[in-house]
Structure 1
Amino acid sequence: MLMRVLSYLVLPAIILVITAFAWVLFQSAENTRTVMVSDVALSPWDALTGAEITRAAAAVKARHGDDVIITRISLRQPEKAVALAWQQGQVPAREAEMTFRHAGQSFVTNFDLNANTLAPSTIIRGGQPMLSPQGELFPVVEKINANEELVSILAARGVAEGEGLCLPRTIGRFFADKVDVRNARIVRLDCFNIASTGGLGILPTTNAFARPIEGISILYDIDREAIVEITDSYADGNFPPHDVSADEYHNGALETRAPVKPVVTSRPQGQNFSIRGGQIDWQAWQFWLRFDPRQGTVLNRVGHRTPDGLRSVAYEIAMSEMFVPYHDNNAHWFYRAYYDMGEFGFGNMATPLKGADCPAHAVFQDVTLHLPDGAPYKAARRVCIFEHDPGYPAWRHYESLYEGVPGMDIHQSRRATELVVRMVATIGNYDYFQDYVFRQDGQLRIRLISTGVDAVKAVFSQTLADARAAEETQTGTLVAPNRLAVNHDHFFSYRIDMDVDGRANNFSRQKLRAVRQPEGAPRSGIWGLQTERVTTESQAQTKMDARQPALLVFSSADKNNAMGYPSAYQIMMPNIDPLVPALDAAFQRAYFVRNNLWVTRYKRPEIFAAGMQTNQSASWLGLPEYIFDNENLENEDLVAWVTVGFHHVPMAEDWPVMPSKVDEIILKPRNYFDRNPAIDLPN
């Protein structure tokens, strides 16, 4: 009896704990700049300080009132020419870009931090700004889970009050017959059984997504604070079971294997990188690092230090959008196609780095984010920076011709070291590592690591031997009894502003093709390179094809290496194809996935592959707009938009937590140097 009383007392409070998560976790709101390790003068590329955020928010509230919900305050993309002309000691041009909700409308504005002036508030068309976790999503969770009608429906499913948790999802432009998808702020919620599996029955399951309560969806209007519709597809009482194993995986929940003997990475003589404000130097690399609530970690002014100054590689590198569509036309699943970055904020969803997330010797950084009223707060340990040995040498050769010859040093290998800048965002059930990996051979790798919990649908089948299994598994895989992990995609778009030895660059495809040989040649099977100089944005659209390989090369317009080749960097990435028609209702809003690579002329406002606002956005925004004018690309300031990702066909090994899946974009020097830049590594 005591345990039941405790259960009633504690479990309902769990919902309040979740809804108050941001406030409880981030009580350290402050007006100081926390993303940087040392207190130095600001650059054009540093993240906004707490004081700057406060000033920008105050200007908006002075104009519109204190009831605004500020969804994003970011450093506005600086004028590139102005930023590049900036020198240490000068006052940099800095502006804050803000999106906010007021009186049922969405607005965007800019605040000039030097002039202390606020630009006109412009109504956002074609979409809506990302959702505020503390200002919109958490209040929705609190209100919905206390709703008497929903509590009654859950009770009919055998879910006691406080043992069910309904969570919001974005809707895109679906449900236009029920709501104003252009202007109304709408989410749809579905529910999970979070009842305790512990001995005391006090705390909820830690595997919150493991037991979906299938067939219940709540369409909700955030502005009106009103339920539009509750759909219960199993009101007749014949529903898939949700009182199943939660498959807990936390410490103590599983019988673990014997621990391995410690394998330790350390830096007993200190670190080899320096951090000065946002500027980081390591080996010959130099770059600026900032943290953005939408994009997460952003790199600027990436290049190699030389006696003659910085040789640039890229002006800016950052995630541009994520798209995760599920492939199930069930009434409770068809609309699930998430723009995780543009709808929720990759930076906002960043989580503290602990345990195995980073090596113990890493340098951790706090970042500054903001609440819906614009108050800044410190989010602790959101970035880690560390060096590590990748486990293979930077280069190696054994000269076996001279084996056994006295005095000959015939074995040469050099240990490799890499610098990694890491963050992890947890967006619902998935966890995403974003790594920037700097190497001594001049390569820069953008590494996405996907892990977390598969989104599962409750079904009647326990195994493939069950009568309903053939029908129920058409759109996914049984990963546990009564749990179907639904097929879906993960698409990631990165915007890479290439500045290879300056702003004037060219893009070419160096195609590997069979070369016809003259009659009588000893071999007929010879391939060679055919260089295609790409001249327009339309021509630059690139779909990768293993049958027609090509090197994708960005080269300087006026700089050559010692042999006379244009100084260049090559972009390499795995192939991904959307598979579905471009007119699919979900994919219309994510047209960027149609190509593996797009190339555009640099324009200051063109930052996001699917457009500035992706929540409930219109179709064909973003890159289709950017290339509409089909500008010339020869000897111009070029931006590469790279799409990577994978089709996720779930498997039993994904459950209860998916093993880490790695995808990479590689920026590789191609005749940028005169020789192997790692050749001078000491033995």
Structure 2
Amino acid sequence: MAQVEAPAVDHPLDPLTAEEIEAAADIFEAETDLDGEIKYHNITLAEPPKPKVKEFEPGDTFDRKAAIVAREDGETYEATVSLAENTVLEYEHLPDVEPAVMPEEIEEAREIVKNDPEWREAAAKRGVENFDLVMVDPWSASGFEPEEHKGKRLCRALSWIKTSENDNGRARPIEGLFAFVDLDEMKVVEIEDNGVPDEDSPLPPEDADYRADRVETRDDYEHLDVVQPDGPSWEVDGNKVEWLDWELRVGWTAREGLVFHDVKFNDGDESRQVLHRASACEMAVPYGDPDPNHSWKNAFDIGEYHAGRMANQLTEGCDCLGVMKYFDVEMNTIEGEAETLESAICMHEEDDGILWKHTEERKPHTEVRRRRRLVISFIATVYNYDYAFYWYFYPDGGIEAEVRLTGIDSNGVVPADETAEDTYGQYAIVAPQVKAPIHQHFFNFRLDFDIDDSSMRAYEVHNEPTGSERDRKNGFRAKETLLERENEARQDIDPNRGRYWRIASSETENSYGRSCGYKLEPHTNVSAPMKPTSSYMRRSGFIQNHFWVTPYNDSERFAAGDYPNLNDDTTGLTEWTEEDRSLVDEDLVVWYTQGVNHVPRAEDWPVLPVEIASFHLKPEGFLDSNPSISLPAEPCHTEHDITSPDNGSSGDDCSSADD
């Protein structure tokens, strides 16, 4: 049995090392009674409960534990392993539970489908000749499993056909043909053939090239560079990052991808707690086209596939610019071995326009400070879609979470004579015979607040007029309402009234008597238009509202529950909040659902320009004044700087002294 005598980490929240992952698998196999082929779906850090982390001081010893989700002979098991004691502390069989689909299962299922005789026969009727050029995407069959195969670990495979090895194969869907694969048995259990939309033209006629070596690129787009001759402003020690007044720990899980721990903001000489943990914990992508070839689609890209496992190696493209710091991450394979994904996380600084400015018109005198931000990001490619998750940390104490959606729309085939006006609203025709159905993307962010390491309260804030109906004064105010229980806190955005939500300490105040807090300021959002009885709403209850608050519970980690794959029941937030627990003077967790409404356009083809979804956390009463007043003025370049021989000079700074 492999042993880990001492963890090669310095904080109890640091992700498992490669050695710890493999040691955990060895301990699990030695200490349990499983004797078949074990498949490891997750080996990750069993994060210590919040009170334990708060007790930790640098230099303290701590026990490292691994949380394991394993599968053997079609059954699922959970275990907690002590790496210090080389033993299994907890071990449980979970009947009727299906963990997320693993990359190894996806690859094997692809080959199973491509070699299935019945599937090949149906694909050949659609014009497929070279099966080496077929692309297969096994989607979870959640909510739409054939009745006779209920209870099996199923995926439902879609497919496309390329015209050459480097062709964008997604231009040619093999429409109306699906293969249901049992991932335990690794065999096709059913072929669904809904017919060909146009028998005279079963495949769309055009390629959809986008690669630089296959399209003509323009020559009037001049190079833009980001240069930091003195290096970046951050300091990194292992997983700990310090940047200006921010201090945080960078973490990772195979399920969520990027996770932040122990987020603090320095107020003078005091390091003050803001967040204990923050991540995007779940996604739901429902499709609205009633066509039976597409109406079943409802992907949980985090819970069903684990976005962290789909992450890109970010050195392969221009995902970041300037001076960059990359973080490698360790994840387990299905065999229980450790696998390194290099450069999964990118950190860099970028300019984001003006942070603050004022011109004294009587002097004259101008002061300007640029809104530089620290960017920490990862990008996951889940089949056709690419999701870029960005977290921005600002000098003024703000945090912004942003998702950029790009990639290729999931698509289908229409008859050659169909026009865009025939069914606009259900789907768009984006290329000859190619349709892209209407759909939405919902991201749920779990924000475990820890304002000043204290108990907290949650408030709803909106604008309303003051005075009587006959009062001709222009009075209005921001009305703040305490949210006392969970069901009161289930709310949606209201931009017309300027609604936001505030999480504040029950114990600390700023110098002016305002409780120290942060506000969640929503940006553009969207509600789910599906019927309340739909399978989408049942399975993804977290999309029923934008804003949720719960008291901290260590076991409540994922908005749609621990195991959404092939689970038709309502779990997660809707289930937990049935208790309607008190939120007053508690340790609070905010869950924010960020929605994107995607009505496809021809302009989205062949690759979608980014759709952006975001929200902002801002200090509100947390500080006594603007902390970014202390920022120095930066060099500013004039037109003369650009055209002069010495165009690399620093130029004047972004302030003007009095004459």
Q: Give the SS at the match of 2:19.
A: helix
The one-letter code sitting in structure 2 at the alignment partner of 1:430 is: Y
- Is 2:161 aligned against 1:193? yes
217, 228, 232: which is aligned to 2:189?
228
Deviation of 1:527 (Å): 1.1
Which digits, 9 at most, give the CA deviation of each residue in 1:115-153, with x for residues without a partner?
Answer: 32213432335642111111x111111122112222222
The one-letter code sitting in structure 2 at the alignment partner of 1:225 is: M
Deviation of 1:235 (Å): 6.7
Distance 1:496 1:219 in 2: 37
Distance 2:402 2:3 in 1: 32
The one-letter code sitting in structure 2 at the alignment partner of 1:143 is: I
- Is 2:371 aligned against 1:416? yes
Deviates more, 1:121-130 or 1:592-601: 121-130
- Is 2:344 aligned against 1:374? no
The one-letter code sitting in structure 2 at the alignment partner of 1:76 is: A
- Is 2:601 aligned against 1:632? no
* Equivalent residues of 1:31, 1:54 under 8 A apart: no
Distance 1:235 1:455 in 2: 18
Distance 1:236 1:559, change over 3 A: closer
* Equivalent residues of 1:70, 1:372 under 8 A apart: yes
* Equivalent residues of 1:191, 1:212 under 8 A apart: yes
Distance 1:576 1:487, change over 3 A: same
* Equivalent residues of 1:164, 1:193 under 8 A apart: yes
Deviation of 1:361 (Å): 2.0
Q: What is the total number of aligned residue pairs between the two structures?
A: 625
515, 528, 532: which is aligned to 1:582?
532
- Is 2:23 aligned against 1:61? no
Distance 1:540 1:346 in 2: 28
Q: Give the SS at the match of 2:429.
A: strand
* Equivalent residues of 1:506, 1:634 under 8 A apart: yes
Deviation of 1:517 (Å): 4.4
Counterpart of 1:600?
550
Distance 2:154 2:270 in 1: 52
74, 81, 89: which is aligned to 2:59?
89
Distance 1:293 1:54 in 2: 15
Distance 2:46 2:197 in 1: 53
Counterpart of 2:17?
49
Distance 2:149 2:13 in 1: 41
* Equivalent residues of 2:440, 2:595 under 8 A apart: yes
Deviation of 1:210 (Å): 1.8
449, 455, 462: which is aligned to 1:511?
462
Aligned runs of 1:363-402 on 2, under 5 Å? 363-390=325-352, 392-402=353-363
Q: Give the SS at the match of 2:617.
A: strand
Distance 1:610 1:666 in 2: 23
Which digits, 9 at most, give the CA deviation of each residue in 1:167-202, with x for residues without a partner?
Answer: 21111122351212xx31001112211121xxxxxx
Deviation of 1:236 (Å): 10
Counterpart of 2:392?
437
* Equivalent residues of 1:456, 1:483 under 8 A apart: yes
Counterpart of 2:118?
149
Deviation of 1:463 (Å): 6.0
Deviation of 1:98 (Å): 1.4
* Equivalent residues of 1:458, 1:482 under 8 A apart: yes
Aligned runs of 1:522-601 on 2, under 5 Å? 523-573=472-522, 574-601=524-551
Distance 1:376 1:396, change over 3 A: same
* Equivalent residues of 1:70, 1:132 under 8 A apart: no
Distance 2:385 2:607 in 1: 9
Q: Give the SS at the match of 1:412.
A: strand
Counterpart of 2:638?
none
The one-letter code sitting in structure 2 at the alignment partner of 1:357 is: D
595, 620, 629: which is aligned to 1:679?
629
Counterpart of 2:448?
497
* Equivalent residues of 2:36, 2:73 under 8 A apart: no
The one-letter code sitting in structure 1 at the alignment partner of 2:395 is: Q
Q: Give the SS at the match of 1:363.
A: strand
Distance 1:632 1:125, change over 3 A: farther
* Equivalent residues of 2:197, 2:413 under 8 A apart: no
Counterpart of 1:344?
305
Q: Give the SS at the match of 1:333.
A: coil
The one-letter code sitting in structure 2 at the alignment partner of 1:363 is: K
660, 665, 672: which is aligned to 2:615?
665
Gaps spanning 5+ residues in structure 1: where?
1-29, 33-38, 197-202, 404-409
Deviation of 1:259 (Å): 4.0
- Is 2:102 aligned against 1:132? yes
- Percent identity, aligned pairs only? 28
Which digits, 9 at most, give the CA deviation of each residue in 1:484-535, with x for residues without a partner?
Answer: 111000000000001111231110112211112496x6x3342112221111
Deviation of 1:473 (Å): 4.6
Counterpart of 2:44?
74
* Equivalent residues of 2:311, 2:379 under 8 A apart: yes
* Equivalent residues of 1:31, 1:50 under 8 A apart: no
Counterpart of 1:645?
595
Which digits, 9 at most, give the CA deviation of each residue in 1:554-585, with x for residues without a partner?
Answer: 01111111111111100012332111122101
Deviates more, 1:366-375 or 1:61-70: 61-70
The one-letter code sitting in structure 2 at the alignment partner of 1:44 is: P
Distance 2:166 2:391 in 1: 36
Counterpart of 2:642?
none
Deviation beyond 6 Å, 4+ runs, structure 1: none
CA RMSD of aligned residues (A): 2.1
Distance 1:598 1:640 in 2: 6
TM-score w.r.t. length of structure 1: 0.88
Counterpart of 2:212?
251
TM-score w.r.t. length of structure 2: 0.91
Distance 2:241 2:3 in 1: 24
- Is 2:208 aligned against 1:213? no
Which digits, 9 at most, give the CA deviation of each residue in 1:456-499, with x for residues without a partner?
Answer: 111114662xxxx5555552001111001110000000000011
Counterpart of 1:292?
253
* Equivalent residues of 1:94, 1:114 under 8 A apart: yes
Which digits, 9 at most, give the CA deviation of each residue in 1:211-248, with x for residues without a partner?
Answer: 10111111121222332211222279826531521211
Deviates more, 1:537-546 or 1:441-450: 537-546
Which digits, 9 at most, give the CA deviation of each residue in 1:351-387, with x for residues without a partner?
Answer: 1113221114211222111110110011111111101
Distance 1:564 1:125 in 2: 53
* Equivalent residues of 1:536, 1:630 under 8 A apart: yes
Distance 1:31 1:412 in 2: 59
Distance 1:231 1:66 in 2: 32
Gaps spanning 5+ residues in structure 2: where?
634-659
Q: Give the SS at the match of 1:159.
A: coil
Counterpart of 1:267?
228
Q: Give the SS at the match of 1:348.
A: helix
Distance 2:323 2:398 in 1: 23
The one-letter code sitting in structure 2 at the alignment partner of 1:526 is: G
Q: Give the SS at the match of 2:307.
A: coil
Distance 1:31 1:661, change over 3 A: farther
Deviates more, 1:529-538 or 1:229-238: 229-238
Counterpart of 1:318?
279
Deviation of 1:254 (Å): 1.3
The one-letter code sitting in structure 1 at the alignment partner of 2:442 is: F
Deviation of 1:401 (Å): 3.1
Distance 1:551 1:349, change over 3 A: same
